[in-house]
Structure 1
């Protein structure tokens, strides 16, 4: 049976209000002996404060939603990168006294329902297309603050946090070009004229300009950001692009699949084809060869997102511009000067 404030008060011989004051650190009008007695009983009886009661009294749920796209009713679209972000967001929220609610969204109309049904104090949107974020209007969230991660939408409701995708891809391509590669495949999901992948494509192309080279001979492979599609691309890469000597993949999980697919096809990495990824997820340092990649500050991204959101939820001003975090290249064993092409 759950121990209540009334149970503690009866055993201690004090009022419920006195017990509440002791538990919440308000000791100004409570004697030291009473404080010690109440604390001892609380510990002995294993009293745990009711989160719902605290939320009701404070008029806050202490709940933050993490809303992610659901491909269908049975699955969530959570990549390894987003899984890492999810873990860091939960950690930061826990340290600030909040709880995280993970909710899959198959239609943006469900965002309103999620925000209001659970009385969320705020929500983070992770993995949504920019055109979906653009469609969110004031009626969707009402007074509840929203924040996006990795979005280039200009929707003022959702000013958030992202990495410097342009610079990251520019560093990746410059690394390969500096090694002597010229026929470099750009591999990533379908993209429009705005968004993360588009920015990485622009940064990739800019590196060629920096070297006074044309990127016209560097093909684009449109593949979903999964290990399986990376494997499939690796197996057929040289059949489709026999003169290619390197690949820049827009995500580590895709690059790791590429390395496996190339191995299946008997193509050595990096002796014949070099591979660069983007994210620096943990597994990139454990595959063979270890993956050269663009490292994002995943901890900083999650921490900054939570802090920004809670600042607004607490009555602060909504930021007027996104926070853009630096990236850097991590050189490992998957890249080398181009070998023989044949």
Structure 2
């Protein structure tokens, strides 16, 4: 049978309230001798505090939800970038004695359901369209501290943390132009409601214009952030667009599929086509050739998301603007000067 606070109080010869105060760190009114006696019994008896009881006492569940989009009736499929973010968030929250709960959201109404029914202290929204976050209302969010990662929503209910998506695209495309490329394609998912991809596309167009390179809409392809879609795009690009000498993609996993698709059609990287990815995921150094990519500081992004959440829970004012973190270009082996023709 599990040891209770009542058992410890009886053995120590003190009140239940005294034991509770010592176990929960409220020891100012307890003598050192009594505190040490109680803590010794706690250790000897192997007492483990009840997480639910501690939550009730503190009026805090110490639970943070991580909500990510999911396909209805399908297993949760997440990108290497999202996997890395999950790991970083869990580590930052664990340091503060919070627990992370992962939930895939197929029906967007489930966002409201999760926030209302899980007794969460906070929630991180990752991968949702800006419009989906814009629709959240105070009466459905309740007192949950919300942080939207990689979002350009204007909803004041959600604190925002993102990387410099426009600047990342500038770095990537400027690098390709400096190598001598002019026929540079852009590949990424649709961005009509996704600010992250839209800002990367805007960076792409801005750099082309700044360097006197005309914008060609036919070089922009909607490609979902998966290896399979990248591979199909690479095959199609090799067959249909021999004029393209470089591609800027919005994710490493897409870039890796693209490289394989090009190779399947007999085109080499970077000999025939240069490729730049985005994220600097672990996969970037596991493939051959190693991927040139734009790196985000995921550790800093996760730490900032948790800091903003804790500030809101503590009643401190939110920043007036979203937190935007810097990026950098990692030069490896998939970008080189264009082939001579």
TM-score range, shorter chain: over 0.9
2:28 and 2:237 mapped to 1: Cα distance? 73
Whether contact under 8 Å (1:272, 1:340) holds in the other structure is no
Whether contact under 8 Å (1:68, 1:125) holds in the other structure is yes
Note the 1:314-325 alignment, pairs <5 A: 314-325=314-325
SS of the aligned residue for 2:275 comes to strand
1:259 aligns to 2:259 (yes or no)? yes
Q: How many residues were matched structurally? A: 341
Measured after TM superposition, the shift of residue 263 of structure 1 is 2.0
1:313 aligns to 2:313 (yes or no)? yes
Q: Alpha carbons of 1:146 and 1:28: their partners in 2 closer, same or farther (altered >3 Å)? A: closer
Unaligned residue ranges in structure 1 (runs of 5+):
none
Note the 1:1-342 alignment, pairs <5 A: 1-192=1-192, 195-216=195-216, 219-340=219-340
Measured after TM superposition, the shift of residue 217 of structure 1 is 6.9
1:11 and 1:137 mapped to 2: Cα distance? 52
1:217 and 1:296 mapped to 2: Cα distance? 28
Measured after TM superposition, the shift of residue 135 of structure 1 is 1.6
Whether contact under 8 Å (2:130, 2:193) holds in the other structure is no
Deviations 1:60-94 (A, max 9, x none): 11111111112113323522111111111111111
Q: 213-222 or 266-275: which moved more?
A: 213-222
Q: 200-209 or 135-144: which moved more?
A: 135-144
Q: 141-150 or 288-297: which moved more?
A: 141-150
Length-normalised TM-score, structure 1: 0.95
Deviations 1:212-259 (A, max 9, x none): 221227601111100111111122222111111111111011001111
Measured after TM superposition, the shift of residue 193 of structure 1 is 6.5
Measured after TM superposition, the shift of residue 52 of structure 1 is 0.7
SS of the aligned residue for 1:271 comes to coil
Runs of at least 4 residues off by over 4 Å = none
Q: Alpha carbons of 1:86 and 1:194: their partners in 2 closer, same or farther (altered >3 Å)? A: closer
1:74 and 1:264 mapped to 2: Cα distance? 30
SS of the aligned residue for 2:277 comes to strand
Length-normalised TM-score, structure 2: 0.95
Whether contact under 8 Å (1:186, 1:249) holds in the other structure is yes
1:247 and 1:115 mapped to 2: Cα distance? 40
Whether contact under 8 Å (1:165, 1:196) holds in the other structure is yes
